[in-house]
Amino acid sequence: MSWLDAIPPQHFAYGMLFFGFFFGIFWYLDHKTHLAIWKKDITDGELRTHRMILYTSYGLMLSLLLMTWWPGQALFLFLGCWVTRTLHEFMDEIHWHLPRCTERETIIHMIMWICIHGGTAVTFAWGFFRQYDGFAELGWPIHAAFVLIFIGYSYIGNREIMDYRGARA
């Protein structure tokens, strides 16, 4: 994989930040769309499916972090979480969204999943094959961007879990 070794760490970081930034924007737009319709159009089953996607994403992120030290062992957690999350995404789109969503919401979902899978691929390649070599030397602006995306994801994820609690109209 000499071609992979030739990629500078900055390019991996920029790819992760690019996909991460746009995923965050479209995830927030999707969340706002769901908030506007959840009491009348979103069932508890769909909300449960969304939580499963979120929870398996946490496991996926943990596996990507663990690749820093134990790439071989983390691979099994990565595969389990990635397959499970992808299956729940597929079920969510086919069972819940296809019958209900407008074209706008479908496009939001399409962009979200392109970004999440693209970002996962970049992160996997850097983590599994190179254990994130060069990350420490990237400089504070890139590190700060990762922190900001993490904070944004934490906020949206928390809202995904908490905003749909309570009685329905």
**Tens digit of pLDDT for each residue in 112-129?**
999 999 999 999 999 999
- Confidence (pTM): 0.89
Distance between alpha carbon 43 and the CA centroid of its chain, in Å? Answer: 22
Q: How far apart are alpha carbons 165 and 48 in whole angstroms?
A: 11
Identify residue 19 by its one-letter amino acid code.
F
The range of the structural domain enclosing residue 153 comes to 8-162
**pLDDT band (50, 70, 90) for residue 169:** very low
Q: Is residue 132 part of a domain?
A: yes
First to last CA, the chain: 56
Rounded Cα distance between 59 and 62, Å, is: 5
Q: How confident is the model at residue 36 (pLDDT cuts 50, 70, 90)?
A: confident
Q: How many independent structural domains does the chain possess?
A: 1
168 falls within a domain: no
pLDDT band, residue 167 (cuts 50/70/90): very low
Question: Would 1 be classed as within a structural domain?
Answer: no
* Residue keyed to tokens 């737009």: 29
